Amino acid sequence: MLHILFLFSLLFFSSHASVQDFCVANLKGPDTPAGFTCKSPAKVTVNDFVFSGLGIAGNTTNIIKAAVTPAFVGQFPGLNGLGISAARLDLAPAGVVPMHTHPGASELLFVLHGKILAGFISSANDVYVKKLKKGDIMVFPQGLLHFQVNAGGSTAIAVVSFSSANPGLQIVDFALFANNLPSPLVEKTTFLDDAEVKKLKAVLGGTG
């Protein structure tokens, strides 16, 4: 019977190479609009589907007293093509994740420790803000401006997940002030004062 079964099994296994349920990213290969090309299935191991980087607290001794540790496809190749990713947020007291968007994904935040004031603004300019406690989850719809601020006296930690393996992250202040976008253009398109723009460009390393 085993012999007979073997024949049967062959049928299914012969298409082994092309029956992929997953596509672990070959980060050295080309990227495509749908994600990276796949690592050979023969070389895939369970370690491609496990990532330990979010277990370590991010370093919050910086200007925003916060750290965002990503587990996107670039860090965690097993996510490629699966439409999901994650990140860890560490917010020291008074820490803040500044106003930002994820151009290609919705975000779901789960508070692990502490208290977080989080909010987003809709296209209709309506404001949705809430003080979240441990165990609360909040969803931020795709592409909208949002922020998180430590709302307690101790470090707050959250784990966030995204509806894309590569959600992107655009921080408004970095986009406006941390590059060579000329100050007059920043001022014209944001109505901000020249002094304000130049001060923030200095702080964030921007030029022009």
| Sole binder of a copy of itself in the list 92, 102, 115, 201 (CB under 8 A) | 102
> Which residues between 53 and 92 bind a copy of itself (CB under 8 A)?
54-56, 58-59, 61-64, 67-76, 78-86
Residue with smaller CB distance to a copy of itself, 29 or 153: 29
Residue with smaller CB distance to a copy of itself, 121 or 152: 121
List the one residue out of 97, 119, 107 whose CA is nearest residue 167. 107
| Sole binder of a copy of itself in the list 119, 152, 155, 198 (CB under 8 A) | 119
CB 81 → a copy of itself: shortest distance, Å?
3
CA–CA dist 26, 3 (Å, integer): 38
∠ at Cα 196 (195, 200), nearest 5°? 115
CA–CA dist 116, 189 (Å, integer): 31
Which residues 6+ apart lie within 8 Å of 104 measured at CB? Answer: 142, 143, 164, 166, 167, 168
The verdict on 154 binding a copy of itself (CB under 8 A) reads no
CB 161 → a copy of itself: shortest distance, Å?
4
From residue 109, how far is each of 64, 82, 117, 146, 167 by CA, in Å?
Answer: 19, 19, 12, 12, 14
| Sole binder of a copy of itself in the list 51, 152, 155, 198 (CB under 8 A) | 51
Residue with smaller CB distance to a copy of itself, 55 or 154: 55
The verdict on 183 binding a copy of itself (CB under 8 A) reads no
Q: H or E segment at 103? A: none
Are 59 and 67 in contact, with CB atoms under 8 Å apart?
A: yes
The verdict on 152 binding a copy of itself (CB under 8 A) reads no
The verdict on 123 binding a copy of itself (CB under 8 A) reads yes
The verdict on 156 binding a copy of itself (CB under 8 A) reads no
Interaxial angle between packed helices 183-190 and 194-204, expressed in degrees from 0 to 180 and rounded to the nearest 10: 120
CB 154 → a copy of itself: shortest distance, Å?
17
